A and B are shown apart, each in its own frame.
Chain A
Amino acid sequence: MTSAVPCTLAAFLCFFSPTVNVPGAAAQEASPVATAKPEKKITEIKIGYLRAYAPQLALSVFDVPPRDEGVAGGNVAIADNNTTGSFLRQKFSLDVTEVKPDADVVPAFQEMIAKGERYVVADLSARQLLSIADLARDNGVLIFNAGATDDSLREEECRANIFHTIPTRSMLADGLAQYLIWKQWRRWVLIYGSHERDQLFAEALRRAATRFGGEIVAEKEFKDTGTARRTDSGVVQIQRQMPVFTQDLPEHDVLLVADESEVFGTYVPFRTWIARPVAGTAGLTPSAWHPASEQWGGTQIQNRFAKANGRRMLSKDMAAWTAVRILGEAATRTQGADPRKMADFIRSDDFSIAAFKGQKLTFRKWNQQLRQPIFLGDNRSVVSTSPQEGFLHQVSELDTLGVDEPETKCVLK
């Protein structure tokens, strides 16, 4: 590699003749700058995308994850990177590998390594991700976690070669809690599901209550008894069952729901015994992105995404877009595709990424989690974004969301 100085850019002038309706190629040959230096060959940057996928059920058809959730965001970022890359002679591609949600991912990952993929966007469970972490480290592979919200991956089980673009459950819960406190709705009841991930989110909500001065006055578990999610008679039954289920709860301001498993959450709003707002995985929901966000240039990415994919952009799409854009930004700024240089840049103080969230996003150095605002919205519109005004922090107000440096259990290795 030649030394990366800004003026070398001058040599790569205007190189997209096929789409330009001006006398391009001829004029270019005559240019003194173009003839002065030999043409640089195209640098290819292959990004792997490893995901666990199986069709999933949801309580509402609106919430059934799209077939290409996440991947679609990655592909939009590839197109963005390639537009930028056309000025720098860099070409990006995304190679998607799919496994089943409970499958062993090691063989698939080994194949990706064999193909020469050194950057991998992962949409896997925490267990699957950890099963490839050491293999990735030994082969110099950088992983960008765009799917797992588990705090443990940033804490006890954190890894030096894994960056996280999707927020943690604790960041999501804290974003929601700040808003409820700002509203002075301090007394909460919590209904949580019986699966592990429901309980992890419930735990994040409990932590947020302690942290920001909310009070959980009662808790109740909603057991998954394995009944069909959608049946013709279901609606009638739910209308009678949910009020009874919430009848014995003490006086509260907000009813919190922790049901990542899609067993009952959607059925809570408007069906409670007393009229109270619902928040959590139903009602007012915290997320990494909102399909209706138009603030901070959001209109542009939303238009771009909808045009390319024929659907709205979801949180996982944004996490994958951000991961691929981070790699694009690193390749631009380091003017090459050297994984070590790119990783050093991403870890450096010079790194930041813009992702339509109103401020620059950076990585927490202690656990490589991307700092980011959290959207709060219902299924139609954005209600607010956290951090809320008044939640102050000595380093970054974004660090009021999630596990902060003094409390982290992460030792990067």
Chain B
Amino acid sequence: MHGGACALAILVTGFMAGPAAAYTAYVSNEKDNTMSVVDTATMQVVKTVNVGQRPRGITISHDGKHVYLCASDDDSIEVIDTATLEIVDTLPSGPDPELFVLSPDGKTLYVANEDDNLVTVIDIESKKVLAEIPVGVEPEGMGVSPDGKTMVNTSETTNMAHFIDTSTHEITHNVLVDTRPRFVEFTPDGKQAWVSAEIGGTVSVIDNETREVVHKITFEISGLRAESIQPVGVRITADGKKAYVALGPANRVAVVDTETYEVEKYILVGQRVWQLAFTPDQKTIISTNGVSNDITFIDVATDEPVQSVTVGALPWGVVVSPN
């Protein structure tokens, strides 16, 4: 633990040096219907906000002014003003929204409606539903290509990644992946979509040109049974070189070389790690650890865990302010 404390000191000093380095992280806590607001410089919870029921998916507008939060059991998306931390609006999400992704231009939200086998397309400004796209059973993972032209949804029981043309709202390709696909992350160059499979225990790398699986990443941790390795959240660095994969009840985040697909390291964080988010400066990645009710700050340069911070009950998703 001495190493951790030392790294923490360095990290804090580093943040203090640059004026733009203090960000705010927002964490959705599924079990106690709150959102924790965390200062990434001090690594402390500065406020806990009461939100709708069963908050899960969370994202933020490009200008950092609004947090969007899926209140799954309220069948709505709440819009939270980041200046006042008050719920200022709701968006029509369709039933049981779980996870969503914001289009690169920041105008459209693509929402997975888990109970109704739909993806709902919402225009944020007019608060109108533009389309409801039928997909497979239990839609969950949502990703959008950097050019905004392609959106990908995964369905957990159908075990497919559905590639959807964002101009027509039509599915163009259905790619079979391993059991219970949970999350989609595009590489920054838009050439690949990475899809995690929680029960299958793999990450499928899909070529965005051919829409075929070009590689399957597997994980192995000595002393852990294979069944406990359940990949969920995936994040890829802005330079496209490293991918971080949250491994659920394996309590670790895997660091993967995107060139070789080799796992370089397993970082021990908290219990049942699900989602991940980078700070905008890419110096830190934060994991949500549901069962231990905390989040872990990981130093991206060293891939060492820096500190864990207790948040609300069953932290699910995390997003960091862009400024």
Give me the interface of A with B, judged by CB distance under 8 Å: 6-7, 9-10, 12-14, 16, 19-24, 27-28, 31, 33, 80, 83-84, 86-88, 297, 300, 303-304, 307, 325, 329, 332-333, 352-354, 358-360, 396-397
Contact = CB atoms under 8 A, between A and B. Distances in A.
A162 to B, nearest CB: 24
B160 A396 contact: no
A397 B249 CA distance: 15
Interface stretch (B185-193, B207-215, B254-262): B207-215
A22 B175 contact: no
B128 to A, nearest CB: 13
B156 interface: yes
A304 B113 CA distance: 13
A352 B170 CA distance: 30
B131 A80 contact: no
B133 A20 contact: yes
A10 B211 contact: yes
Given A6-B176, A304-B115, A360-B227, A297 B156 contact: yes
A4 to B, nearest CB: 10
A353 B199 CA distance: 8
Given A9-B176, A28-B170, A21 B137 contact: no
A325 B157 contact: yes
11 contacts: A6-B176, A14-B172, A22-B169, A31-B170, A80-B157, A88-B174, A332-B176, A352-B199, A359-B227, A360-B201, A396-B227
A8 to B, nearest CB: 10
A353 B160 CA distance: 14
Q: Main SS of the interface on chain B?
A: loop
Contacts of A9: 173-176
Nearest to A335: B176
Q: Which of A88, A300, A303 has the most chain B CB atoms inside 10 A of its CB?
A: A300
A245 to B, nearest CB: 43
B200 A360 contact: yes
A297 B155 CA distance: 12
A368 to B, nearest CB: 19
Nearest to B131: A22
B84 interface: no
A19 B132 CA distance: 9
Given A87-B136, A87-B158, A354 B173 contact: no
Contact of A83 (B114, B131, B136, B213): B136
A87 B200 CA distance: 21
Nearest to A88: B174
B117 A22 contact: no
Contacts of A16: 134
Given A16-B134, A87-B160, A354-B198, 14 more contacts: A6-B176, A7-B212, A10-B173, A10-B174, A22-B168, A27-B168, A27-B170, A84-B155, A86-B134, A297-B156, A300-B114, A333-B176, A352-B200, A359-B199
B227 A329 contact: no
B170 A24 contact: yes
Which interface residue of B159, B162, B200 has the most chain A CB atoms within 10 A? B159
A360 B199 contact: yes
A358 B180 CA distance: 11
Contact of B170 (A14, A21, A83, A332): A14
Contacts of B162: 87
B320 to A, nearest CB: 27
Contacts of B200: 352, 360
B313 to A, nearest CB: 14
B41 interface: no
Contact of B172 (A23, A24, A33, A84): A33
A6 B178 CA distance: 13
B175 A354 contact: no
Contact of B213 (A6, A12, A27, A87): A6
B138 A297 contact: yes
A86 B136 CA distance: 9
B169 to A, nearest CB: 5
A13 B172 contact: yes
B170 A22 contact: yes
